[in-house]
C-alpha cells in the first residue's frame, strides 16, 4: 500500500512538508527544554512554517504576530510575498510598485509582476499595464502589451512588432488574437505573410495550424493548403497523385515536404518516389540537397544497407556533422575498419578530437594491425574518467583514472563567510531547509552568477554538505572541475536502495547510475513529458509496475514518494533486464527508450560487440544515456570499493531476445 512515512525530528530537515496538524504535533512534542536546545535559526524556521500555515488558514492576526517575530529572518519577505499575492486584487498600484521596488533583487519579483500584469489585463487597465510592463520575453505578455498599445493609441511601427510574433510555425496564445487581427487587417503584403507562416507551420509539424491560417486565403489557395495537409498526413498515398500536378512553386514545396515526411518512416520508399519525381519538376538546388540529405540520414537511422552509398554520394559541402557521424557509424556496424579510418580522417577537425572518435580510431587501428598506434591512442584516452576513457583503459589493461579531488578545500573556506557575501545564497539555504525548493533554486542560481569560479566550487561543496545533491551537481558543472567524485556522485537513500536492489537481484552501482542520470537525485524531479521522481517514472509505467506487484493504482504523489519511486523503478529495471537476458546495455536502453525500440535496433544477423551496438543506436538521447549510466556505474563501483571493469557489463548484443 502506498503511504508516506514521516519521521519527527528536533531538526527541520528539508523535504518534510509540515502540514498544520503535523506542525502542531511537532510543537507539542518539542518540550521547552528541547526548544531551548535548538539553534535560533531553527526556531525561526519553525516560526516561518507556523506563519505559512496561519496564512493558509486565513488566520491573519496570528500571521501578523509571527511576521513581527521574524523581522530579521533572511526570507521573511517570502511570507510578505505570499500574503500580497493572496490579496493582490485588493491592492492598489502604488503599493504593488513599492513592494516590487523594495524587493528588486528577489526572484519572486518576476512572478508577482506576472500576476499583477494578468490582473491589469483582466481589468483592461491598458495604461496601467504599459506602466508596469517590463518587456519580458514571454509571448502572452508581449501580445498583451501590443493590445495595450492598440487600445491607448501607441501604434507607431506596431505591425512590425506584431509580425515578429506572427511569423512562427507554432500556435500562439489567445492573448495574441487582437494584435494578429489588427495585423491581418492593416499590414503590408499580408498574403505573403500568411503563406510564410503556413509553410513554417508545416515545417514545425503543426498541420492543423496551417489549415486554420488558410481561412485568411482565397478558396483556391485553401485547396492548395488542404492538399499540403493531406500530403503531410498521408505522404505515401498523395505522392503518386502529386506526380501529375503542374510544376508550380507551391506544388514543389508540397512534394518536398511529403517526401521528407515519408523518409522519416521509410527512407527507401521515399527514395523511390523521389527518383520518379525529381526530373519532372524544377526543384531548386536547395530542395534537391535537402531531400538527398534527409533520405540518406533516415536510411542510416533505419540501418538500411543502402545508407552507406547514399551518404557517400552527398557532395562534401552538403555533408553536415550528422552525415559524417552516421557514415562512420555505418562502417562501424559493418565492422569495416579500413573504411572507418578513412571516414574519421576526413571528418571536420572538431569531430575527430571528440573522445568518441579517438576511441573508435584506436579500435580500428587495433583491428587492422597497427597495435602500437592503437595502444598509444588508448593510453592518452585512458587518462579520462569517462565512458570512452574507461573503455580505452580496459583495452590496454590499465587502472581507471578516478582520483578524488575536492572541488573546494573545506578547511580553506568558511560557510558563513561565503553566505555573508551573497544574500541570494543565504536565502537559498533557508528556503531549501523550509522545503520551498523552487524558490531556493531561483535564489541559488541568481546568486552564483556573481561568484568567482573558486567561490562557485565552494558553493557546490556547501550545497553537497546540506545534502542538496542535484543543486551541488548542477553548480559544480558550471566550473571546469570534474574530479570531486564524492560531490558529483553521492549515494543518497542508501538503505532503501540496498533493500530494493537486493530484493530484485540488481547491481547497486547500475541503479545508482540510472538514478543519477534520470534525476540528479532530485526526489521531486518532473520532466517535460511527465516522468516523475528519482527514477523518472512515467505515470503509465508506474501504474503497470504497481499492478504487477499487487499494489493499488498510484497517483502522482504516490509516485513522487521516495520509497515508492525506488521500489517501482527498481522493479521496472528488473523487468527490462529479464526481458533482455540480463544484458545491462540493452536493459539501460530499454529503461530510457522502451523495450519496443530496443527490439527494433537489434542486429539483423550476427551478434555485435556491445560498444559497437551502443554507438549505432539511432536515438542520440538513448545513446548518450547508455554511455552515461555505464560510466556512472563504474564511478559508483569505486565508491563501493568494487573492482569492476566497464566491459564486464557490456555483453555482446544478439539478434534475438
Catalytic machinery residues = 518
Q: What string of H, E and C letters represents the secondary structure of 175-190?
A: HHHHHHHHHHHHCCCH
What gap in Å lies between CA 260 and CA 246, rounded to an integer?
A: 20
Among residues 326, 329, 328, the alpha carbon closest in space to that of 345 is found at 328
User: CA Rg, the chain, in Å?
Assistant: 30
What gap in Å lies between CA 167 and CA 155, rounded to an integer?
A: 19
What gap in Å lies between CA 296 and CA 280, rounded to an integer?
A: 21
What is the total residue count of the chain?
657
Hunting for cell 540510472 — which residue is that? 514
What gap in Å lies between CA 354 and CA 115, rounded to an integer?
A: 47
CB atoms within 10 A of CB 437: 19
Task: Assign residue 319 a region (left: φ > 0; alpha: ψ between -120 and 50; beta: otherwise).
Answer: beta
309, three cell numbers? 552509398
Task: Assign residue 479 a region (left: φ > 0; alpha: ψ between -120 and 50; beta: otherwise).
Answer: beta
DSSP of 526-557, one letter per residue?
Answer: B-TT--BTTTTB-HHHHHHHHHHTTPPPP-HH
H or E segment and range at residue 516: helix 508-519
What gap in Å lies between CA 590 and CA 602, rounded to an integer?
A: 12
269, three cell numbers? 520508399
Which letter does DSSP use for residue 71 in this model? T
Terminal Cα-to-Cα distance of the chain (whole angstroms): 34
Phi first, then psi, for residue 468 (nearest 5°) are -95, 70
What gap in Å lies between CA 283 and CA 250, rounded to an integer?
A: 11
> What's the longest Cα–Cα distance across the chain?
91
Among residues 443, 479, 449, the alpha carbon closest in space to that of 461 is found at 479
Angle at 145 between CA 142 and CA 149, to 5 degrees: 140
Which letter does DSSP use for residue 39 in this model? -
Buried b (16+ CB within 10 A) or exposed e, 267-298: bbbbbebbeebeeebebeeebeebbbbbbbbb
H or E segment and range at residue 617: none
CB atoms within 10 A of CB 152: 12
What gap in Å lies between CA 463 and CA 161, rounded to an integer?
A: 44
Phi first, then psi, for residue 608 (nearest 5°) are -120, 145
Rounded-to-10 torsion of CA 609, 611, 616, 621: 140
CA dihedral (457, 458, 461, 462) positive or negative:
negative
What gap in Å lies between CA 507 and CA 489, rounded to an integer?
A: 16
514, three cell numbers? 540510472
330, three cell numbers? 555505418
Alpha helices in 368-476 (DSSP H): 371-381, 387-396, 415-420, 423-433, 437-448, 453-465, 469-476
Amino acid at each position: 500500500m502506498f503511504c508516506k512515512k514521516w519521521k519527527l525530528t528536533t531538526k527541520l530537515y528539508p523535504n518534510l512538508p509540515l502540514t498544520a496538524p503535523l506542525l502542531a504535533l511537532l510543537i507539542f512534542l518539542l518540550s521547552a527544554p528541547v526548544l531551548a536546545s535548538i539553534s535560533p535559526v531553527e526556531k525561526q524556521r519553525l516560526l516561518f512554517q507556523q506563519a505559512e500555515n496561519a496564512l493558509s488558514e486565513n488566520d491573519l492576526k496570528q500571521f501578523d504576530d509571527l511576521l513581527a517575530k521574524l523581522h530579521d529572518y533572511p526570507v521573511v519577505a517570502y511570507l510578505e510575498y505570499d500574503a500580497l499575492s493572496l490579496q493582490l486584487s485588493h491592492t492598489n498600484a502604488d503599493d504593488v510598485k513599492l513592494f516590487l521596488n523594495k524587493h528588486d533583487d528577489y526572484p519572486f519579483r518576476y512572478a508577482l509582476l506576472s500576476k499583477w500584469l494578468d490582473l491589469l489585463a483582466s481589468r483592461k487597465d491598458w495604461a496601467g499595464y504599459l506602466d508596469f510592463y517590463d518587456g519580458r520575453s514571454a509571448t502572452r505578455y508581449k501580445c498583451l502589451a501590443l493590445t495595450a498599445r492598440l487600445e491607448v493609441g501607441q501604434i507607431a511601427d506596431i505591425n512590425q512588432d506584431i509580425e515578429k510574433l506572427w511569423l512562427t510555425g507554432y500556435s500562439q496564445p489567445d492573448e495574441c488574437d487582437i494584435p494578429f487581427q489588427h495585423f491581418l487587417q492593416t499590414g503590408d503584403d499580408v498574403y505573403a505573410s500568411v503563406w510564410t507562416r503556413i509553410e513554417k507551420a508545416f515545417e514545425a509539424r503543426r498541420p492543423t495550424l496551417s489549415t486554420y491560417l488558410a481561412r485568411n486565403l482565397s478558396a483556391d489557395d485553401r485547396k492548395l493548403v488542404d492538399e499540403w495537409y493531406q500530403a503531410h498526413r498521408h505522404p505515401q498515398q498523395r505522392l503518386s497523385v502529386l506526380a501529375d500536378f503542374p510544376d508550380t512553386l507551391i506544388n514543389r514545396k508540397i512534394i518536398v515536404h511529403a517526401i521528407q515526411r515519408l523518409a522519416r518512416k521509410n527512407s527507401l520508399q521515399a527514395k523511390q518516389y523521389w527518383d520518379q519525381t525529381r526530373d519532372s519538376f524544377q526543384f531548386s538546388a536547395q530542395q534537391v540537397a535537402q531531400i538527398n540529405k534527409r533520405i540518406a540520414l533516415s536510411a542510416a537511422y533505419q540501418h538500411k544497407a543502402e545508407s552507406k552509398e547514399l551518404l557517400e554520394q552527398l557532395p562534401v559541402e552538403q555533408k553536415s556533422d550528422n552525415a559524417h557521424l552516421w557514415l562512420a557509424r555505418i562502417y562501424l556496424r559493418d565492422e569495416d575498419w579500413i573504411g572507418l579510418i578513412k571516414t574519421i580522417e576526413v571528418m571536420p577537425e572538431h569531430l575527430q578530437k571528440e573522445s568518441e572518435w579517438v576511441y573508435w580510431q584506436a579500435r580500428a587501428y587495433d583491428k587492422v594491425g597497427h597495435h602500437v598506434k592503437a595502444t598509444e591512442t588508448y593510453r592518452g584516452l585512458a587518462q579520462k574518467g569517462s565512458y570512452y576513457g574507461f573503455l580505452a583503459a580496459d583495452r590496454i589493461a590499465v587502472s581507471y583514472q578516478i582520483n578524488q579531488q575536492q572541488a573546494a578545500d573545506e578547511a580553506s573556506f568558511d560557510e558563513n563567510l561565503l553566505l555573508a557575501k551573497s544574500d541570494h545564497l543565504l536565502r537559498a539555504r533557508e528556503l531549501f531547509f523550509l522545503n520551498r525548493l523552487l524558490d531556493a533554486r531561483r535564489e541559488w542560481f541568481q546568486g552564483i552568477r556573481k561568484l568567482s569560479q573558486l567561490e562557485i566550487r565552494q558553493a557546490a561543496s556547501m550545497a553537497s554538505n546540506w545534502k542538496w545533491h542535484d543543486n551541488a551537481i548542477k553548480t559544480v558543472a558550471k566550473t571546469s572541475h570534474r574530479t570531486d567524485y564524492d560531490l558529483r556522485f553521492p549515494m543518497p537513500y542508501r538503505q532503501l536502495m540496498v533493500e530494493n536492489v537486493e530484493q530484485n537481484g540488481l547491481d547497486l552501482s547500475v541503479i545508482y547510475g540510472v538514478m543519477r542520470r534520470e534525476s540528479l537525485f532530485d526526489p521531486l524531479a518532473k520532466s517535460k513529458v511527465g516522468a516523475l521522481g528519482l527514477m523518472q517514472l512515467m505515470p503509465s509505467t508506474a501504474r503497470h509496475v504497481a499492478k504487477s506487484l499487487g499494489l493499488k493504482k498510484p497517483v502522482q504523489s504516490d509516485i513522487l514518494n521516495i520509497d515508492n519511486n525506488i521500489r517501482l523503478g527498481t522493479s521496472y529495471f528488473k523487468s527490462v533486464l529479464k526481458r533482455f537476458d540480463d544484458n545491462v546495455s540493452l536493459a539501460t536502453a530499454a529503461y530510457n527508450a522502451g523495450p519496443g525500440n530496443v527490439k527494433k535496433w537489434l542486429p539483423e544477423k550476427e551478434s555485435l560487440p556491445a560498444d559497437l551496438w551502443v554507438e549505432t543506436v539511432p536515438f542520440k538521447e538513448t545513446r548518450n544515456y547508455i554511455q552515461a549510466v555505464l560510466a556512472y556505474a563504474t564511478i559508483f563501483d569505486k565508491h563501493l570499493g568494487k573492482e569492476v571493469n566497464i566491459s564486464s557489463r557490456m555483453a555482446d548484443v544478439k539478434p534475438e531476445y
